[in-house]
Every structure is written in C-alpha cells, then in structure tokens.
Amino acid sequence: MDHLKKQIEAILFTLGKFVSVDEISKYLNLSSSEEVIKAVEQLKKDYEQKDSALILHQQDNLFKLNIKKEYGFLTNKLLSTTEMDSPTIKTLAVIAFKSPVQQADIIHIRGNKAYDHVSNLINSGLISTEKDGRTRLIKLTPHFYDYFDISEKELKNELSKITPKEIQRILAELPRPIELPKDNNA
C-alpha cells in the first residue's frame, strides 16, 4: 500500500490538476480501481494529519495535490513573477472580474497590448473565445479554476466583496481609466 500511495502522490504532483481514480488506475496500468481508491483515501488522511504545506483536495470523484490556502500567497507571488508578466496578469484579472466579457471591452480598458495578453492567455488555456458579432466573447476555462485552485462560486463570492468604490479606484489606475455607470453595483 505504501508503494502505491507514493506512486499516486507522484502522479498527482506531476499532473497538477484534478484527476479521477480511473485515470490514476490507467497511469498505473491497474485493471481494478479498488486498490487506488483505498490508497487515495489513505493518502488524503496522511496529508490531513501531516504538518505540511500540501493538501489532497477532493472535488466530486476527482483528486488534486495542492498547496494549502494559507500558503497560496507564496505560490501566487512566485507564479506571477515567472509565468506571466504583470500586464498580462492585470488583463486576466479584468477578464475574471467581468467574465464573460467582449474582447472589445477588454481592449478598451487595457489598451491594444491586450490583444497580445489575450493571445497568451488563450495559449495557456486560461481563457477561451468565441465569435460574438464583430468581436469575440472571452470566457474563463475550467483550467483557469484548476490553475488558481478556486471554484467559479468561490471566485464570484470573492469578487462580490469588492465595493463599487474600490472598483472605481482600481479602474482609475488602469492605463485607460474608465468610469462605471452610476447605477452599476458590480
């Protein structure tokens, strides 16, 4: 059982995304998933009892090895400095706040460089686009929620805590400051 747990841990660490028991079984070339279920349950208990920065998350029948929320600020800081530049992150933040959003609105808010940001974000799988009249409609992908280890509901809840006054302050600091309509409570 110990060897199987370590193999599963290695798979979850390497993939860095939610994985089903069936997928894990397939990676291990096991025909039965019963052993994998027991090993995953034991591994989850081990992480709950360990004094570790890692945790084994379960979402429905999917599992993911991740960093505990209290240490997330460290990884977000590191990821933001290594994987995406600051302007791209700011464009992604506007997209996340307004999603789904028309690309024309993002360009209006962030400027013409946002075309490059959108392209990079599509390539990274964090957003998707579809034709919407003369522009494109930008949406967050499931990979976005996996990558930032947040559910759509949690994201909306966190964004709803931002007051209209804070939004005005943030928007005023953008390269192209914009004003929200007076009746907008977003």
Give mean pLDDT, residues 7-26. Answer: 88
Give mean pLDDT, residues 30-56. Answer: 88
121: tokens are 């974000």
Residues 2-68, CATH architecture: Orthogonal Bundle (1.10)
143: tokens are 């990979």
98 by Cβ neighbours in 10 Å (0-12 / 13-18 / 19+) ranks as: middle
| pLDDT given for residue 118 in this prediction | 95
Cα 1–24–6 angle (5° rounding)? 35
Residue-range domain boundaries for the chain: 2-68, 83-172
| pLDDT given for residue 43 in this prediction | 92
| CATH 3.40.50.300 correct for 83-172 | no
Task: For 58-95, write each residue's pLDDT tens digit.
Answer: 888 889 888 777 776 666 655 544 467 778 888 888 89
Q: What secondary structure does DSSP assign to 62-121, as a single string?
A: EEEEEE-GGGHHHHHHHHHHHTS-HHHHHHHHHHHHH-SEEHHHHHHHH-TTHHHHHHHH
Say yes or no to pLDDT of 136 above 90.
Answer: yes
* pLDDT category of residue 127 using cuts at 50, 70 and 90: very high
83-172 and 2-68 share a CATH fold: yes
Give mean pLDDT, residues 156-182. Answer: 64
- In the chain, % of residues over pLDDT 90: 28
